[in-house]
Structure 1
């Protein structure tokens, strides 16, 4: 028989999901699971956090199809939590998996943020350095583990 989550655990997970989704422009799904107990919470300690989400729009034109995150122990400043700005007291070990679709990548390439990062490349072509400025760049996921760039 599975154990029903305690009320404080449910509240903590819901608040974490709400806080994470606030800065996002759009969210299809977000699930947060915090592993801890009430005593550790008051000490600013969490045994781990699991996060899963789909369809996140981080900034205009920057979309994440799927995200999964798993952390181990987290220690935060309890006062910072009360003030709504969580500050970590120690580094956190985390595993993260982010999935972007081909359409997400190509749409992101039209954003001001990304296009500003890929303004100019310096390429070595047959021993000669050539400046290359991409325009209307597209990325194709070829299915054989390779990316194809067109522009």
Structure 2
């Protein structure tokens, strides 16, 4: 088994993030999220890296993003990344 493949917990976290982000958009053709972390950091709300790739993202009914690619490779707070918390260490 490859060491860089996501484990069951990371795959579940990735899917939850995909559903959470998709639910905030009016339309999504495709979205893939890869979150890398370990259980201790996850309990603290921290991750090692986040990669988001999406196509055909529509928000506010008329604002369309044809392609989105975001890669963050550093330990950061999930709250600051997903909701812009000012009390957590920013990504």
Name the TM-score, length of structure 1 as normaliser.
0.51
Post-superposition Cα deviations, 1:38-64, rounded to whole Å, max 9, x if no partner, equal 111001110110000000001111100
8 Å CA contact 1:76–1:86 kept in 2: the answer is: no
Alignment partner of 1:17: what SS? helix
Structure 2: unaligned runs, 5 residues or longer: none
Cα RMSD, aligned residues only:
1.9
**Inter-partner Cα distance in structure 2 for 1:86 and 1:38:** 22
**Structure 1 stretches of at least 4 aligned residues deviating more than 2 Å after TM superposition:** 1-5, 85-88
**Is the aligned partner of 1:36 residue 2:43?**
no
The structure with more strand, counted as a fraction of residues = 2
Structure 1: unaligned runs, 5 residues or longer: 78-84, 93-151
How many pairs are equivalent? 85
* Higher relative contact order (CA closer than 8 Å, sequence separation 6+): 2
Alignment partner of 1:27: what SS? strand
Q: Which of 1 and 2 has greater Rg?
A: 1
Name the TM-score, length of structure 2 as normaliser.
0.82
Aligned to 1:55: 56
